[in-house]
Structure 1
Amino acid sequence: MDNGVSGFLQSRRARIRPQEVGLPSHGRRRVPGLRREEVAQLAGVSVDYCIRLEQGRAQNMSDAVLEAIGRVLRLDETEQAHLRDLIRPARSGRRAVSRGRQGVRPGLQLLLDSMAGTPAFVLGRRMDVLAWNALADAIAGFSGKPPAERNQARQVFLDPSAPVCYPNWAAVAAETVAFLRLATGRHPDDPALSALVGELSSKSTDFRRLWVDHQVKEKTYGTKRLVHDVAGQLEFGYETLALPGDPDQLLVAYTVVPGSATAERLALLASWSASGTQRAEAS
């Protein structure tokens, strides 16, 4: 998998206009944004350092130099960490990843099941949904899908119904790509992750367009709007927690404002789901 360091840094140089950092903007410029020479000047490092960095030959570059370049490029905390992952994959401190499908601990499934009133699921590093509780299943129908289709990235980009399911599909798509970009920096040697990116790139023009932007973003918290076949439009907050002992797995819980339309619809959906389960068990 291409570690993407060159494209990442070029995209960050391109978003900064020379006049924003006190440089003259007149004259012919072959590239948008800052040139390498200008980044070097502003960071107080040699141009050779910047060239080596973009070529992925800067594994031994000091943190001070990386931070200086990051300040010039206005990298936020997530972007700075992503840059370190890209140029120092062997020194990121992360465990070697499993080549196969991730699994969850039995105790984690018990925890999910105990959260009966809260839709919750576990997301793996490749955006596979690894486990869920009954209410999350009632919303997303995880149990009725084969494992390969329990992948949020595939669902967003390859499922024709996704733009209907997500009223704010464009924002969801951008967040999905930004999360996958972050994952590829952390796990450059994960063949299944590389294959997923390749599959999405070959099958989705929207994915290809977003991928070249090199945006990176943690999946932490936010809002999620969904349209359900039975319950109609649902609006949740979501909170994402990294699991102790396995930071490559995230516990995602949907929150609902008490008394809201979504709370009422979710209660109806939970009742409908429970009655369906009872009918299945009785038959």
Structure 2
Amino acid sequence: MTSHGEHRRDLGDFLRSRRAATSPEAVGLPVAPGRRVAGLRREEVARLAGVSVDYYTRLEQGRHASPSGAVLDALARALGLDPAGRAHLHDLAGPSTARHERPVVQRVRPAVHQLLDSLRDHPAFVVGRRTDVLASNALARALLTDWDALPPRRRNYVRWLLLDPGARALFPDWPVLAAEAVGTLRLDAGRHPDDPLLNALVGELTIGCPEFARWWSDRRVHERTHGTKRLHHRVVGDVTIHFEALVLAGEDDQTLFTYSAEPGSASADNLRLLSSWATDPGPAGSRRPRDPATP
């Protein structure tokens, strides 16, 4: 359960971490020779945001009630926050329910399952709260991991990415992707501070992944909207994919991720090969994937 005091401390910790990570040059301030502070000073943030130094100090120290939306927007501009950081700031400053949330069981609509299955040439999957993987198609399971074969509590994208050795081997840029994924989890924690399943996941990751504690304490947030990823698949080799995150209307906290490769590229050829492997019915009508390198 998150108390009101803890909620305000989270806001202060986030402001302090972003202030320390923001250089004066990034927000248009001159840098005096011999300056020893890498980030911004409190008085600099206060001046940029148009608030008093005392007021800002009390925010950082968790000694002030929730600030107004206008003040939060001014602080976001002063700290150069991106849209995800701005949203996280507002989440942390909102009123805390100060109660223990009941775990939410999310389900994917049948029509969305049908859509996933129809995307035979594109890996696709639905992610919910805490980055839980709620549904996936055959090509996504062949490219990443077989989510359906995992126990329900382990069907979580960040958990897989940080704790599964196969995930580290799959992504050449694993440290960057993993740190961003932790930022996505941090964003979810701001929206749902009293989620017991999320708190349990954070504890598991803290114990199981040496890098997690550092990324989590950094308090950076990240929202996956679109981008590019490089993969090295054990069967088909190198694949570069473009991903899009599509929020499912009418469903709280459900996002459809689709992957695609540049038409005519080697990556597209490799995805096509993987698709034929993933959908090969195999002997006796079984739909178990068969390694194409196996005779």
Matched, 1:214 2:219: yes
- Which moves more between the two structures, 54-63 or 262-271? 54-63
1:226-241 equivalent positions in 2, closer than 5 A:
226-241=231-246
Local SS of the residue matching 1:41: helix
- Equivalent in the alignment of 2:181: 176
- Equivalent in the alignment of 1:149: 154
Q: Distance in 2 between matches of 1:17 and 1:240?
A: 31
1:55-70 equivalent positions in 2, closer than 5 A:
55-70=61-76
- The Cα shift of 1:57 comes to 4.8
Q: Distance in 1 between matches of 2:23 and 2:124?
A: 43
Deviations 1:9-54 (A, max 9, x none): 1121112345752464657x6x642232332233221223213322
Between the aligned residues of both structures, percent identity stands at 49
Q: Distance in 2 between matches of 1:39 and 1:282?
A: 59
Does the 8 Å CA contact 2:66/2:93 hold for their aligned counterparts? Answer: no
RMSD in angstroms over aligned alpha carbons?
A: 2.6
- Equivalent in the alignment of 1:164: 169
- Equivalent in the alignment of 1:53: 59
236 and 98 in structure 1: CA distance in 2 versus 1, 3 angstrom threshold: farther
Local SS of the residue matching 2:103: coil
1:102 to 103, 106, 109: 106
2:126 to 122, 128, 138: 122
Give the residue type in structure 2 aligned to 1:274.
Answer: T
- The Cα shift of 1:278 comes to 5.8
Unaligned ranges ≥5, structure 2: 289-295
- Equivalent in the alignment of 1:71: 77
- Which moves more between the two structures, 102-111 or 175-184? 102-111
- Which moves more between the two structures, 97-106 or 273-282? 273-282
Does the 8 Å CA contact 2:248/2:256 hold for their aligned counterparts? Answer: yes
Q: Distance in 2 between matches of 1:77 and 1:282?
A: 43
Local SS of the residue matching 2:70: helix
Does the 8 Å CA contact 2:279/2:287 hold for their aligned counterparts? Answer: no
Q: Distance in 1 between matches of 2:101 and 2:268?
A: 39
1:244-259 equivalent positions in 2, closer than 5 A:
244-259=249-264
- The Cα shift of 1:90 comes to 4.9
Give the residue type in structure 2 aligned to 1:147.
Answer: P
- Equivalent in the alignment of 2:210: 205
TM-score for the superposition, normalised by structure 2? 0.84
Q: Distance in 2 between matches of 1:246 and 1:97?
A: 19
Does the 8 Å CA contact 2:128/2:255 hold for their aligned counterparts? Answer: yes
1:78-93 equivalent positions in 2, closer than 5 A:
78-90=84-96
Local SS of the residue matching 1:21: coil
